[in-house]
Amino acid sequence: MMDRFLFVLGSNWQLSLAELDNYLKNSQNKGRIIDYSATIAIVEFENLHKDKQYVNKLMELQFILGGCQKIAKIYDFIDIQTIHDAFPLNINTYQHVVKVREKILNILENILVGKNLIFPKAYESMFYAVSIYPNLYDDDYYTDILVKHFLLFLNTEIMEIIKRKGSTKVLYYKYPDKNIKSGNLNPIFPHIVIKYELLNENRAEIIFGFTEEGVYIARTFTVDDPNFKKQIDEERPLKEFKSSISPKLATIMLNFLNLFDSREKKRILDPFVGNGTILLFALLHDFQIYGSDNDIEKVENTARNLNWLLELLEEEIPPLFNKRIARCDIKNLSENYEHNFFDGIITEPELGPYYLEKPYYSQVKELIKTNLQPLYDDFIREAYQILKPKGRICFISPIINTIDGGEVQINIEKLASKNNFKQVFLLDTNRLVRKSNKKLQFARNQIKTMIDAKKGQIIIRKLYVFEKA
């Protein structure tokens, strides 16, 4: 149990899980997801945990992954039956409950204070926040039992134990009463972990992460820094207010290019650069970035945004940097760049007009036939030319919701295979454990694409990855 880590997944948990598994399969830090739920993944590394500097490695990993909120080290595990016995939906015999709770208390007693434990020693003043990550947020067991009873139990008992070990001043994070009463509770967000300094030795976030198998008890070691990403996304000089790609999705897409080593030497291109969201995050992750767009205004916007970010990062502007963002129509891409030049291509092409209401089926069919399909066709053909062999393209294509004909989309697979691209699966679920809850299962073994959508969106983003055969 000592060498396992708990990863808190982003809100799109399937995509976060796929990103993490792809990393564990293809980067230098090999490992396996040995258990998961809709909120967490449990990871066993082949070697990383043996590294003396493993905390630094985890921080790097945290920075690289777009769909990971926190990484915590696991100290123990309690199987689900024990939890259900100690905190049943209906209490029959109180004696039995008390007995099983004793067992849980014993486990807590053994992992809280001491060398190589959650707190290395009893400090005079200590602080902790308990975060419960449920199997699924809409589980009744979470809202009725875990939030209302288990949390209270943990907060009081952990306090007792720590005091017994010698600390005189112990405080814990109090969630708002109204959330506890309603059962509608989110574990603390990364910025709270930072604000309360819960990575300090005498302070901690203690995570109780549930799967169908049981609860993993872990201490948070690193968290995502959402403020910095938000700053890049929102404070850059030029941005569009209509829904543009999120920093998280851009970062996840970068990782599906499978370029994990020597990123500073890897050339990547966004040929529909817009205001440059993808390139801003690619620059943050050290890639050699190139971009183009057929709209000169967008080209200028991106160049300005990138210069702004370099300044913010206090990095020098590389020579000829602005030349790397150029005006180019997608049709002529391969005339503007050497063949086999790029290590990866990552982009969000035109997704269709910004609909305020759902369009008609025939309208969308026409749009796809006359605009989008030819555009994607041009893109895929041209991308093939300038990509290195075995290089990957990772891009978004739209699913458009219509009033009268359901979802309509472009047949991307056909365009890609026509152009000699081989599809890369986003997730091979054979690498995961089986789950009995339908909501945690995947439709098939090989997941070819995934979507990134908010409720009620008319245009939904669908993610594809292909490799130059």
Ligand X SMILES: C[S@@+](CC[C@H](N)C(=O)[O-])C[C@H]1O[C@@H](n2cnc3c(N)ncnc32)[C@H](O)[C@@H]1O
Task: Write out the residues near ligand X by the rule CB under 6 A.
Answer: 244-245, 272, 274-275, 277-278, 293-295, 298, 329-330, 348-351, 375
Q: Which is nearer to ligand X, 82 or 294 (CB)?
A: 294
Q: Which is nearer to ligand X, 27 or 322 (CB)?
A: 322
Q: Which tokens in the block code for residue 246?
A: 């999120």
Q: Which is nearer to ligand X, 66 or 209 (CB)?
A: 66
Q: Which is nearer to ligand X, 88 or 352 (CB)?
A: 352
Q: From the CB of 395, what's the least distance to ligand X, in Å?
A: 10
Calculate ∠ Cα 36-67-448, nearest 5°.
Answer: 75
Q: Which is nearer to ligand X, 179 or 370 (CB)?
A: 370
Q: Which residue is nearest to ligand X (CB)?
A: 274
**In whole angstroms, what is the distance from residue 71 CA to residue 452 CA?**
23
- CB-CB neighbours of 370 under 10 Å: 10
Please say whether the beta carbons of 271 and 249 come within 8 A.
no
Distances (CA, A) of 299 to 238, 304, 329: 11, 9, 12
Calculate ∠ Cα 271-273-275, nearest 5°.
Answer: 175
Calculate ∠ Cα 207-208-209, nearest 5°.
Answer: 100
Q: Which of 280, 271, 329 is nearest to 302 (CA)?
A: 280
Q: From the CB of 433, what's the least distance to ligand X, in Å?
A: 36
Q: From the CB of 3, what's the least distance to ligand X, in Å?
A: 39
Q: From the CB of 465, what's the least distance to ligand X, in Å?
A: 17
Distances (CA, A) of 40 to 33, 120, 303: 10, 25, 38
Q: From the CB of 407, what's the least distance to ligand X, in Å?
A: 19
**In whole angstroms, what is the distance from residue 175 CA to residue 128 CA?**
12
Beta strand 169-172 with 459-468: parallel, antiparallel or unpaired? Answer: unpaired
Q: From the CB of 419, what's the least distance to ligand X, in Å?
A: 17
First to last CA, the chain: 41
Q: From the CB of 41, what's the least distance to ligand X, in Å?
A: 28
Rounded to a whole number, what is the largest CA-CA distance in the chain? Answer: 78
Q: Which is nearer to ligand X, 33 or 269 (CB)?
A: 269
Q: From the CB of 245, what's the least distance to ligand X, in Å?
A: 5
Q: From the CB of 274, what's the least distance to ligand X, in Å?
A: 3
Q: Which is nearer to ligand X, 79 or 295 (CB)?
A: 295
Please say whether the beta carbons of 348 and 245 come within 8 A.
yes
Q: Which is nearer to ligand X, 74 or 289 (CB)?
A: 289
Q: Which is nearer to ligand X, 43 or 253 (CB)?
A: 253
DSSP H/E element including 317: none
Beta-sheet strands, E only, within 352-458: 387-402, 406-409, 421-423, 427-428, 446-447, 450-452
Helix or strand or coil: residue 397? strand
